[in-house]
């Protein structure tokens, strides 16, 4: 056991607060005529890449899922109202929610735009109300002051607190203690545990492990043989042994990475095809980095082929950047190093992560004219201004017009904000 102050004698009390159906809830708040209708937030309805980013409770009743394409969602629910995303609005609500959490603790760690851990160990309000009543107070305040609901998980570690916020939705509080977690958590599917994704779930199932309890009772050394060091992490998570602290993060932690992905208008079959799409995505990511006042130190690409197999690769940059040309160059290096084109690509993505403030000093290259680097930055900033004034398609790079079909992507207006990973080293 550990406390926020490091006292080994004090049990921690950690909340994980998840804003329910966040994007769709905010949209319905601003458009009350839609509150009783199935509503989703998604991309371009007319194009193949349009997907569901979020949905409200009414839409969930029709089986609509985040990540499915809009035309499939409409087959399930012809009356579905699909709205374009407005991330500036969602960020404003996220900040207001964080201000409420800050009334109870200064130890707040954002987990993307709509989730946060809050360590209330040792706080006066915890001593006054107790953990469950305090969680309900926060839940009620968010509902009353912001008009949206949250689910709160309460536990003695971050992993179980996160599991608690998913356990009962919407507008609910779930408490997992050392005394009840085996009864309540262990019967749950192993996939409910944070970071047990589809691949890990399938591998666990192949060994006969389908529940968190079965995972917890598997000898750690056996899991290590199957999964390497990751197996020991899984064992720790399942047994409630996670001791990771709730990191104090500022508002900038609401976004720890900036990324875009898209399903291409047609399957990509060669480097030249991928290069065009990567330009579309890199320009969006770069512009959003500049708007947010960030540079990224790591570039990650996501590739999904026409049989829906996907994987990610990433590389560290020599220096932080917010330039599309450098993001594109890194993406193409990763593509050429890790993909052999045995199958066409259906969708690709670029993400800039490991963010630093744009004011961070950068060492100019000894092998490139510094004036050229500065001109390149000014050129991209000028393109930002042209697009703001005259629209996205007012200017583009000549090399991308080789195939007009692939250039009809306005990635910036359909972007996805990616949450920070649980492991800071990843």
**Domain CATH code at residue 287:** 3.30.1490.100
The confidence score (pLDDT) of residue 228 equals: 87
Residue 359 lies in a domain: yes
The CA-based angle 295-275-47, given to 5 degrees, is 95
The confidence score (pLDDT) of residue 425 equals: 31
Query: Of 11, 57, 79, 115, which is the active-site residue?
Result: 115
Residue 218 lies in a domain: no
What confidence tens digit (pLDDT) does each residue in 147-178 have?
Answer: 999 999 999 999 999 999 999 999 999 999 99
**Residues 260, 284: Cα–Cα separation, whole Å:** 7
Structural domain range at position 399: 255-414
Residue 165 lies in a domain: yes
Q: Taking Cα atoms as reference points, which of 261, 265, 267 lies closest to residue 282?
A: 261
**Domain CATH code at residue 25:** 3.30.70.270
Task: Report, as ranges of residue numbers, the positions in the chain whose pLDDT lies below 50.
Answer: 1-8, 48-49, 366-367, 411-426
Residues 280 and 399 in one domain: yes
Contact between residue 165 and residue 152 where contact means Cβ atoms under 8 Å apart: yes
User: What's the burial of 319, exposed, middle or buried (CB within 10 Å: 0-12/13-18/19+)?
Assistant: middle
The confidence score (pLDDT) of residue 50 equals: 64
**Residues 394, 411: Cα–Cα separation, whole Å:** 14
Q: Pick from 216, 232, 251: which residue ends a domain?
A: 251
Task: Provide the number of structural domains found in the chain.
Answer: 2
pLDDT > 90: percent of the chain: 54
What confidence tens digit (pLDDT) does each residue in 76-125 have?
Answer: 999 999 998 887 788 889 999 999 999 999 999 888 788 999 999 999 99
- Known catalytic residue at 272: no
Residue 317 lies in a domain: yes
Tell me if the pTM is above 0.95: no
């Amino acid at each position: 056991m550990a406390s926020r102050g490091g006292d080994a004698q004090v049990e921690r009390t950690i909340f994980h607060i998840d804003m329910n159906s966040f994007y769709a809830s905010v949209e319905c708040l601003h458009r009350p005529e839609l509150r009783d209708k199935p509503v989703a937030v998604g991309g371009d309805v007319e194009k193949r890449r349009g997907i569901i980013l979020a949905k409200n409770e009414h839409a969930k009743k029709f089986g609509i899922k985040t990540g499915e394409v809009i035309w499939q969602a409409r087959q399930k629910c012809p009356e579905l109202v699909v709205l374009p995303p407005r991330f500036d609005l969602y960020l404003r609500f996220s900040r207001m929610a964080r201000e409420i959490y800050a009334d109870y603790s200064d130890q707040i760690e954002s987990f993307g735009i709509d989730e946060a851990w809050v360590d209330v160990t040792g706080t006066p309000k915890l001593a006054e109300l107790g953990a469950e009543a305090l969680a309900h107070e926060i839940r009620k305040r968010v509902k009353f002051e912001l008009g949206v609901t949250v689910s709160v998980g309460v536990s003695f570690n971050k992993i179980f607190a996160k599991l608690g916020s998913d356990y009962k939705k919407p507008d609910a509080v779930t408490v997992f203690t050392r005394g009840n977690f085996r009864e309540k958590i262990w019967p749950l599917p192993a996939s409910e545990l944070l970071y047990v994704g589809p691949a890990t779930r399938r591998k666990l199932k192949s060994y006969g492990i389908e529940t968190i309890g079965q995972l917890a009772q598997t000898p750690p050394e056996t899991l290590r043989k199957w999964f390497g060091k990751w197996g020991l992490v899984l064992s720790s998570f399942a047994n409630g042994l996670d001791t990771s602290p709730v990191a104090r993060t500022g508002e900038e932690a609401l976004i720890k990475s900036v990324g875009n992905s898209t399903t291409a208008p047609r399957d990509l079959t060669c480097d030249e095809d991928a290069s065009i799409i990567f330009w579309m995505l890199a320009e969006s990511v770069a512009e959003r980095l500049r708007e947010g006042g960030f540079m990224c130190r790591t570039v990650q690409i996501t590739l999904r082929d026409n049989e829906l197999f996907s994987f990610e690769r990433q590389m560290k940059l020599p220096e932080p950047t917010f330039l599309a040309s450098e993001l594109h160059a890194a993406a193409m290096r990763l593509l050429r190093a890790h993909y052999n084109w045995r199958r066409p690509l259906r969708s690709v993505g670029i993400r800039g992560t490991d963010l630093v403030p744009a004011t961070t000093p950068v060492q100019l290259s000894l092998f490139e004219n510094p004036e050229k680097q500065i001109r390149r930055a000014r050129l991209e900033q000028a393109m930002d201004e042209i697009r703001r004034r005259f629209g996205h398609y007012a200017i583009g790079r000549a090399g991308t017009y080789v195939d007009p079909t692939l250039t009809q992507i306005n990635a910036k207006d359909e972007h996805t904000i990616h949450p920070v990973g649980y492991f800071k080293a990843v």
